[in-house]
Amino acid sequence: MHACRHLSETINIGLQYLDGGIYTSKIQILGIEQSVQCLCSDIGNISLIKFTMMTIMGVINLVIFLILSLFVVSIVVLMYVTRSPKEMKGIPGNLGWPILGETLSFISDFSSPSGIFSFMHNRQQRYGKVFKSFVLGRFTVFMTGREASKILLTGKDGIVSLNLFYTGQQVLGPTSLLQTNGDPHKRLRRLIAEPLSIDGLKKYFHFINTQAMQTLDHWQGRKVLVLEEASTFTLKVIGHMIMSLEPTSEEQEKFRSNFKIISSSFSSMPIKLPGTAFHRGIKARDRMYEMLDSIIARRRSGQEFQQDFLESLIMKHSKGGTEGEDDENKLTDKQLKDNVLTLLVAGHDTTTAALTWLIKFLEENPHVLEQLREEHRGIIANRKSGTDLTWSEVNNMPYTAKVISETLRRATVLPWYSRKASQDFEVDGYKIKKGWSVNLDVVSIHHDPEVFPDPQNFDPSRFDEPLRPFSFLGFGSGPRMCPGMNLAKIEICVFIHHLVTRYKWKPLDRDNSVQPTLVRMPKNKYPVLVEPL
Ligand code: HEM
């Protein structure tokens, strides 16, 4: 029977040879002398036990000492790294706690129904349109208003570059569109512009329409999570557009599961240890690249030919293709893969979120839903019977276009646009130094009561007249304006057409919280019960 209960498991292992009478022994535990009672018949073993215990305690003491030292050194390093740059003193604002800064209140406001608006609004009331903060491990200057938008978004003379988080930089790779500037950026934009133009998208219309109808076929009389359904729909569309993935193939499943992991690694902690979300993201990215490698190899060997985005890049613009391999302007396979992944990452969550918010706003604003239905019933009424939605109909849905804009204003799926100063410049009288993180607070721009009276109200008629430049930034502006906006609008128009002409729906949960991810989405995934009209 072993009686040394107040000792650790490790030490009990050293005692398990004991048996018989009770012995008391003095030992040092963490430097404190303690009395140990042992039930034991073999006195000779006591000195061995004492020796073993003291050695183990010595090792434990050493380990604890090392952990504490490491902890103290990390804190000191963190405090040094996160100390405020001297020049920031001239910018109003509060940097919050050491190391953490204002991250906690930022995250808590971020997931509240009003999103980061309350965080920004409180500080703008106190400090004005330009203020500093320390959030998510970065000193940053938040700014809002037309002047700031113009400077940051036009990025004239290369005064700013895009500023991805470390996790995004690592996952997307150095040659991603999101990490290039100046001429290389312009060149990449040119390459993707053609397939994402209205004309370039025409050939995918039939696929988009079929996928929207098939997705909605399953909705009748069911409870659905709109966000999940929207995600599956948009992923099938982009997977087909880029590399002709069949919507129900095994490759599509692999693509979907890897993409989900990659996507969630973006808002993870930047710790690349096995088991962390970031590490899983990198691994999933590698698997995705293997898949792309094998598709590219099949295409190059002539085993497979498809008229998709990848094919057009391989044929026209990639090194190793048939035309002019020595052309400096052509993409390497690495650039090709980095940018295919960039389009997926930039285009998927944003479109999924926009579609979900739109469906939610429609239910909350029945008069808007009714007006939208009228537009779509009108389209059907004007159509020869038996025919399906056409390309020209999709491009002529004026009220739907305003509903999409109002959705992007109210939801502001990308709440801030992040830049890094590439040189010193001035905004609203404040000096911004090269290297600083500067974020354009778009939520405040979209909720400015002077431009959008009663800003919380969902009112598509705000877009009846053209707005002043830089007051609505749903798809951004300037050289980094969203290249995928035509695709996003077409997907949403097609889906909404079939939804509002077939179904009505009611929410099963009225919680308005938002996921604390870079792209704003309803936390509850918007569960609804769907019924036929
Ligand atoms: C409703 C859906 C979408 C919204 C709200 C949206 C919004 C935006 C915004 C605001 C920007 C500019 C961000 C900035 O200036 O920092 C942007 C950039 C971008 N978007 Fe979209 N987007 C959507 C859909 C798409 C789609 C479908 C694709 C691709 C298939 C796409 C690809 C991109 C890319 C690659 C960029 C970076 C452009 C660059 O840096 O030059 N987006 N998007």
Q: Is residue 136 part of a domain?
A: yes
Task: Please report, as a single letter, which amino acid is at residue 352.
Answer: T
Are residue 62 and residue 195 in the same domain, yes or no? no
Are residue 419 and residue 480 in the same domain, yes or no? yes
Q: Is the CB of 487 under 6 A from ligand 1?
A: yes
Q: Which atom from ligand 1 is nearest to the alpha carbon of 188?
A: 41
Q: Is residue 3 part of a domain?
A: no
Range of the domain at 181: 147-532
Residue entry with tokens 């050493």: 62
Are residue 483 and residue 356 in the same domain, yes or no? yes
pLDDT for 232 equals 94
Length of the chain, in residues: 533
Provide DSSP, 23-85. Answer: EEEEEEETTEEEEEEEE-S-THHHHHHHHHHHHHHHHHHHHHHHHHHHHHHHHHHHHHHTSPP
Query: Three-state SS for 142?
Result: strand
pLDDT for 462 equals 97
Q: Which atom from ligand 1 is nearest to the alpha carbon of 238?
A: 30
Are residue 127 and residue 261 in the same domain, yes or no? no
Contact 141, 130 (CB under 8 A): yes
Q: Is residue 251 part of a domain?
A: yes
**How far is CA 473 from each of CA 24, 158, 489, 498, rounded to the nearest angstrom?**
77, 20, 15, 28
Contact 133, 142 (CB under 8 A): yes
Are residue 130 and residue 176 in the same domain, yes or no? no
Are residue 257 and residue 122 in the same domain, yes or no? no
Q: How many CB atoms lie within 10 A of CB 6?
A: 11
- 113, 143, 173 - which closes a domain: 143
Cα separation of 237 and 284, whole Å? 20
Ligand 1 centroid distance, CA of 482 (Å): 4
Cα separation of 145 and 440, whole Å? 8
Q: Is residue 293 part of a domain?
A: yes
Orientation angle between helical segments 277-300 and 309-317, nearest 10 degrees: 60
Of the candidates 384, 86, 399, 352, which has an alpha carbon nearest to the alpha carbon of residue 236? 352
CATH of the domain at 174: 1.10.630.10
Are residue 156 and residue 123 in the same domain, yes or no? no
Cα separation of 452 and 502, whole Å? 32
User: Residue-wise over 45-74: b if at least 16 C-beta within 10 A, else e?
Assistant: bbeebbebbeebbeeeeeeeeeeeeeeeee
Q: Is residue 259 part of a domain?
A: yes
Are residue 394 and residue 503 in the same domain, yes or no? yes
Q: Is the CB of 476 under 6 A from ligand 1?
A: yes
Residue 4 among known ligand-binding residues? no
* Residue 101 φ/ψ region, left for φ over 0, alpha for ψ in the -120 to 50 degree band, beta for the rest: left
Q: Which atom from ligand 1 is nearest to the alpha carbon of 440?
A: 16
The dihedrals phi and psi of 114, each to the nearest 5 degrees, come to -85, 0
Residue entry with tokens 């800003």: 455
Q: Is residue 404 part of a domain?
A: yes
Q: Is residue 4 part of a domain?
A: no
Q: How many CB atoms lie within 10 A of CB 266?
A: 20
- 127, 143, 159 - which closes a domain: 143
Query: Three-state SS for 484?
Result: coil
pLDDT for 67 equals 82
Q: Is residue 2 part of a domain?
A: no
Q: Is the CB of 482 under 6 A from ligand 1?
A: yes
Are residue 116 and residue 198 in the same domain, yes or no? no
Q: Please state the pTM of the whole predicted model.
A: 0.83
Are residue 343 and residue 277 in the same domain, yes or no? yes
- What does the pLDDT profile of the chain (533 residues) look like in tens digits? 343 444 343 334 334 444 444 545 555 544 455 555 544 445 556 566 666 777 888 888 888 888 887 876 666 666 555 556 667 788 888 888 777 888 888 888 877 777 778 888 889 999 999 998 888 777 889 999 988 999 999 988 788 998 888 888 888 988 999 999 888 899 889 888 888 999 999 999 999 999 999 999 999 999 999 999 999 999 999 999 998 888 888 888 888 899 999 988 887 887 888 889 899 999 999 999 999 999 988 888 888 788 888 888 887 666 665 444 456 667 888 888 999 999 999 999 999 999 999 999 999 999 999 999 999 999 999 987 777 999 999 999 999 999 999 999 999 999 999 999 999 999 888 999 898 899 999 999 999 999 999 999 999 999 999 999 999 999 999 999 999 999 999 999 999 999 999 999 999 998 888 888 889 999 999 999 999 99
Ligand 1 centroid distance, CA of 475 (Å): 6
Q: Lay out the sheet containing 223-225: strands in order across.
A: 223-225, 527-532, 503-507
Are residue 336 and residue 308 in the same domain, yes or no? yes
- DSSP H/E element including 162: strand 160-162
Q: Is the CB of 215 under 6 A from ligand 1?
A: no
Q: How many domains does the chain have?
A: 3
Are residue 282 and residue 364 in the same domain, yes or no? yes
- DSSP H/E element including 264: helix 250-265
